[in-house]
């Protein structure tokens, strides 16, 4: 991969600091997209738009910039979006929070999995509205699709675990292990260690 994790990224994973978009992208590319024989529990019914939303809509000064922003995300797909049931799009919300936007093509809805549901993240509906406008006439006419926050959705405590929650939401959805989304804040230290070990192994295997 062009931008693999640095030692600092691994240290941040292990010691409960914020995780950046490169960590999310590396996790998806080295875990969820493994060949079927290596990862038999993953259903290949999803597409990944990449964690390319760090700049987010408010950083786009005009419509052309917004379109380029979405063009970049959709170019990461290997095939047409309509060939998937789900499209995963990690969102960098506000200044320091990650949440997961799922474009549920099968149910014709936008789903947001947010580990800080008690916070008022106004830029999430704003982003979805911009995405609706972009997709119409290009990929999918989602103008009338609703925006939902599915329950139950595990919530984080204090700390910088939002990116780890975002990883786990994607993993559970890719495995169709959605009955209660079986993880919690108590699992975060173990999850960070597992992700760090996974990245180290993936680095040396590559």
152: Cβ–Cβ under 8 A, 6 or more apart, which residues? 180, 181
The pTM of the full predicted model, rounded to 2 decimals, is 0.86
Q: What is the pLDDT of residues 137-181, one digit of tens each?
A: 888 899 999 999 998 789 998 778 888 899 899 988 988 876 668
Catalogue all structural domains in the chain, each as residue range(s) with its CATH number.
7-205 (3.40.395.10)
Is the bond into 130 cis (omega within 30 degrees of 0)? no
Residue 147 half-sphere exposure, CB side, CA atoms within 13 Å? 17
Higher-confidence residue: 3 or 126? Answer: 126
Q: What is the pLDDT of residues 18-27, one digit of tens each?
A: 666 677 887 8
Question: Could you tell me which residues are beta bridge partners of residue 147?
Answer: 110
Residues 188, 201: Cα–Cα separation, whole Å: 20
Q: Are β-strands 109-113 and 97-104 bridged in parallel, bridged antiparallel, or unpaired?
A: antiparallel
Percent residues over pLDDT 70 in the chain: 85
Q: What is the DSSP letter of 4?
A: -
Q: Does the structure show a pLDDT above 80 at 16?
A: no
User: Is 93 strand, coil or helix?
Assistant: strand
Rounded to a whole number of angstroms, the distance between the first and last alpha carbons of the chain is: 9
Percent residues over pLDDT 90 in the chain: 19
3-state helix, strand, coil split of the chain in percent (to 5) is 40, 15, 45
Q: Does the structure show a pLDDT above 60 at 52?
A: no
Q: What is the DSSP letter of 139?
A: S
């Amino acid at each position: 991969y062009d931008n693999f994790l640095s030692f600092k990224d691994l240290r941040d994973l292990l010691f409960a600091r914020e995780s950046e978009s490169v960590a999310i992208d590396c996790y998806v590319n080295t875990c969820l997209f493994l060949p079927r024989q290596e990862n038999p529990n993953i259903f290949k019914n999803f597409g990944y738009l990449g964690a390319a939303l760090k700049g987010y809509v408010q950083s786009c000064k005009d419509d052309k910039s917004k379109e380029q922003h979405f063009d970049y995300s959709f170019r990461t797909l290997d095939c047409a979006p309509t060939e998937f049931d789900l499209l995963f799009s990690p969102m960098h919300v506000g200044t320091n929070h990650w949440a997961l936007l799922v474009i549920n093509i099968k149910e014709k809805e936008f789903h947001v999995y947010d580990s800080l549901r008690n916070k008022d993240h106004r830029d999430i509906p704003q982003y979805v509205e911009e995405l609706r406008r972009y997709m119409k006439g290009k990929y999918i006419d989602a103008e009338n699709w609703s925006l939902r926050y599915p329950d139950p959705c595990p919530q984080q405590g204090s700390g910088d675990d939002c990116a780890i929650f975002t990883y786990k939401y994607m993993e559970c959805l890719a495995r169709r292990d959605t009955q209660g989304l079986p993880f919690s804040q108590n699992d975060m230290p173990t999850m960070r260690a597992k992700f760090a070990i996974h990245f180290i192994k993936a680095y040396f295997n590559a």
